[in-house]
Structure 1
Amino acid sequence: MNIDHYLHRIGFREACLPDLATLRALHRAHSEAVPFENLDVQLRRPVSLDLPAIYDKLVLQRRGGWCYEQNGLFGWALTQLGFDVVRLSAGVMREAMGDIQLGGHLCLLVRLEQPWLADVGFGGSLAGPLLLHAGSRLDAPYRIDLVEIEHGYWRFLEQAHGEPFSFDFRAVPADEALLASKCDWQQTNPASPFVQNLVVQRRRGDTHMGLRGRVLTRMNAGSGDKTVLSSAEELVECLRVKFDLDVPEAASLWPAICVRHETLFGQSSV
């Protein structure tokens, strides 16, 4: 594992000091270079929490990954560069589904003069680190909110052109066994949304691209549009052109993607 190879992977050529300016620049570079994706889950390939395996996949193979991989790699890189990093266990939509969600998301706390939430593994909504303080900001096309709630929890919320999406966390070191258990559940259990759906996301500047099954969504601050993919070949091309993912074997997923699409939408357009 080589920090210079990681920096090359995310296209980072600036000086690396353990300060806020560098943290912001690294966060932005990683989130724009490395897409969120669950292709291995869809292809029934084991996804590991093992850091060398994550490094090989995201850096050497130039793939993307989900939160455990993205923030696992980002946390390692920040530590190598002299940052004080704490891994945090979070629960996506805990506000609706309760504590059973905890461990379903990995994010990071970076301790500088003040604590900062860093998260390159939530699909690209967060453009840079977020001060651990209640408030709002615009990370176009998303509005980002951080709210302090009961029992020592914080709630992160993102909203663009739909309903808010959130995760809850406490600023304490993660239960690593819980993260491992949830990582396994999310890639094997039929109830997992990552087993049920192909999900690929990426931020480029103020534009966010998302692929969920057959539906490709493009959002910017003022508008959004959707395209429904029509073939396995178009899927592979979309992954390559829109997300820089060269995964031709994704064509094998097309029949299941079509079945899922019909289950959700029937014959109507999305």
Structure 2
Amino acid sequence: MTWSGEEVDVDAYVARTGVKGDLKPDAETLHALHRAHVAAIPFENLEMMLGRPVPLELSAVQDKLVRRRRGGYCYEHNLLFAALLERIGFSVRGLGARVRLGSSSLRPVTHMLTRVSTGEGEEWLCDVGFGAAGLREPIPLQDGAQVRQGVWEFGLAREGDDLWVLRNLRPDGWRDLYAFTLEERHPVDYVVLNHYTSTHTRSTFIRRPVVQYAAKEARRMLTGRDLVIESADGERSERAVQAGELKAVLDREFGIELSDDELGELERVHYAGE
């Protein structure tokens, strides 16, 4: 199997995400799995902040994201999801994207997402690893597709002959999230991308903690010391998180639990001099 689907602990995944019903390779199951994954497992880069590598072997990813109260970033989330889908019987192809988030500058391909085919022959774009601004559910892989997922709206459009762009609707209009092609990527490709993203001095992920959660009615984001909660109508609250409350904030807002040693190291590194 391409994504090591035979190694997935399906029972543990179901317990972690709370997904209900029979798991079949159809659109209904795909939507339920995507929705449950995003709602249960947060986005975070705390391994990098703790000075540790980010292994992508499925055993390590499952231990962290499924068996513990931790999250991960795009490669961890989407590799786990791809393996689960493969185990169930979906056809899964990996893709790579250039993150835009409203910027017009050309950035390297550093984001993982997937193209998924159901047993009925439908094709969907799936991405459980983009964080608070990302998809809650799959979106049809069709030019001009536009979906409302809860209180959030997303759109997919072609840009030129072979470029696709995922967008989300904000109070001030549509914003590009990322651009991608349909060139197929393989697990070994993500090993290389992961090494750059988790270690290179130009990577934004090694500079400060990034923790996000796509709550039902709001996006929760901790970037550095700034905690931002943003609703679909644009209402926004922001405050600084002090070292002494970091443990409570990670638990309450993101469902993340660190050991005392991990928390102490994170506070030492991130709140040095406070």
TM class, shorter-length: 0.7 to 0.9
Q: Deviations over 1:125-166 (max 9, x none)?
A: 311000011233333554322111124121112354678342
Q: Which residue of 2 aligns with 1:224?
A: 236
Distance 1:5 1:236, change over 3 A: same
Q: Which runs of 5+ in 1 are unaligned?
A: 263-270
Matches within 5 A, 1:188-207: 188-207=199-218
1:239 shift after superposition: 0.5
The counterpart of 1:212, out of the listed 223, 226, 229, is 223
1:225 shift after superposition: 1.1
Distance 1:172 1:34, change over 3 A: same
Matches within 5 A, 1:2-41: 2-41=9-48
Matched, 1:106 2:117: no
Distance 1:158 1:251, change over 3 A: farther
Q: Which runs of 5+ in 2 are unaligned?
A: 1-7
CA contact (8 A) 1:83 1:110 kept: yes
Q: Which residue of 1 aligns with 2:130?
A: 122
Q: Which residue of 1 aligns with 2:250?
A: 239
Q: Normalising to structure 2: TM-score of the pair? A: 0.86
Q: Which residue of 2 aligns with 1:145?
A: 155
Q: Which residue of 1 aligns with 2:76?
A: 69
Q: Which amino acid aligns with 1:120?
A: V
CA contact (8 A) 2:48 2:205 kept: yes
- C-alpha distance in 1, partners of 2:150/2:226? 21
Deviating 4+ runs (over 6 angstroms): none
SS in 1 for 2:104: helix
1:251 shift after superposition: 4.0
1:209 shift after superposition: 1.0
- C-alpha distance in 2, partners of 1:80/1:178? 21
CA contact (8 A) 2:74 2:111 kept: yes
CA contact (8 A) 2:42 2:254 kept: yes
Q: Which amino acid aligns with 2:162?
A: G
Distance 1:142 1:151, change over 3 A: same
Q: Which residue of 2 aligns with 1:158?
A: 168
**Structure in which a larger fraction of residues adopt helix:** 1
Cα RMSD of the aligned pairs, angstroms, is: 2.4
- C-alpha distance in 1, partners of 2:34/2:257? 24
- C-alpha distance in 2, partners of 1:145/1:256? 39
SS in 1 for 2:25: coil
Q: Deviations over 1:62-92 (max 9, x none)?
A: 3100000000001111111111111112221
Q: Deviations over 1:77-115 (max 9, x none)?
A: 1111111111112221297343x512x111111112221
Q: Which stretch shows the higher mean deviation, 108-117 or 86-95? A: 86-95
CA contact (8 A) 1:42 1:197 kept: yes
SS in 1 for 2:192: helix
- C-alpha distance in 2, partners of 1:105/1:179? 9
Identity across aligned pairs (percent)? Answer: 32
Q: Which residue of 2 aligns with 1:268?
A: none
SS in 2 for 1:65: coil
Q: Normalising to structure 1: TM-score of the pair? A: 0.87
CA contact (8 A) 2:139 2:145 kept: no
SS in 2 for 1:48: coil
The counterpart of 1:85, out of the listed 79, 92, 95, is 92
- C-alpha distance in 2, partners of 1:137/1:2? 31
Distance 1:92 1:26, change over 3 A: same
Number of residue-to-residue matches in the alignment: 258
Q: Which residue of 1 aligns with 2:104?
A: 96
- C-alpha distance in 1, partners of 2:244/2:214? 24
Q: Which residue of 2 aligns with 1:267?
A: none
CA contact (8 A) 2:95 2:113 kept: yes
Q: Which amino acid aligns with 2:137?
A: G
